[in-house]
Amino acid sequence: MILGICGSGRKEGNTGALVEEVLKAAGTESELVWLIDINLGYCTGCWRCVSEGKCWQEDGMTELYKKMIDCDAMVIGSPCYYGEVSGLVKSMMDRSIALGYMGFGKESETPMHGRKPLADKPAAVLSAVAGHGVEGALKTMEKFVNYGEMNFVGKLGAIAGMGDVRELDDVMSEARALGKKIREAMK
């Protein structure tokens, strides 16, 4: 199963359309989680996850941890704000620190980083922006994927102006190609 994670606050927007197209093109079981729907709190930096083996916050991230661990591959999408990911995506990434202290997964080379339960899962990232800065958002998500030692299969940055990516044939073609790469990487 491919887990799509969308960090847009607008379900009818360009980022969601791209994530949906990638998942559809993969042609396999998938689930799309909209971070706007899961009541996601931010990381407080308390490090209780290190000693307790889980995040102390009981919110939508609790269920998302399970989905992240159980999925076979992941697609993460964020709109680009000021050359960066949305606050929703940043909170999801920050809260994912707790994954390393849940007691399973590949042992990290740096003991204080715990484990890497997402290691080797194929992952792709994408971002949509009206004007510029998409490379910064993509780089942030790529760092998240690399930190988790996931299998980075590709990225897509879409510059759509004030238009709709669904009307940009080249962008939608890239999204479909990325979906096929994810499917191939799952084999």
- pLDDT of 106 higher than 90: no
Looking at residue 114, its pLDDT comes to 87
Q: CB under 8 Å to 51, separation ≥6 — which residues?
A: none
Q: SS3 sequence, the chain? A: CEEEEECCCCCCCHHHHHHHHHHHHHCCCEEEEEHHHCCCCCCCCCCHHHHHCCCCCCCHHHHHHHHHHHCCEEEEEEECECCECCHHHHHHHHHHHHHHHCCCCEECCCHHHCEECCCCCEEEEEEEECCCCHHHHHHHHHHHHHHCCCEEEEEEEEECCCCCHHHCHHHHHHHHHHHHHHHHHCC
Looking at residue 103, its pLDDT comes to 87
Strands 73-79 and 2-6: parallel
Q: Considering only 9-23, 34-48, 63-77, 96-110, which range has the smallest mean pLDDT?
A: 96-110
Q: Mean pLDDT throughout 97-121?
A: 89
Give 137 or 105, the one with higher predicted confidence.
Answer: 137
- pLDDT of 163 higher than 90: no
- pLDDT of 111 higher than 80: no
Q: Mean pLDDT throughout 10-17?
A: 94
pTM: 0.95
- pLDDT of 110 higher than 90: no
Looking at residue 109, its pLDDT comes to 84
The β-bridge partners of 73 are 2
CATH superfamily of 2-171: Flavodoxin domain (3.40.50.360)
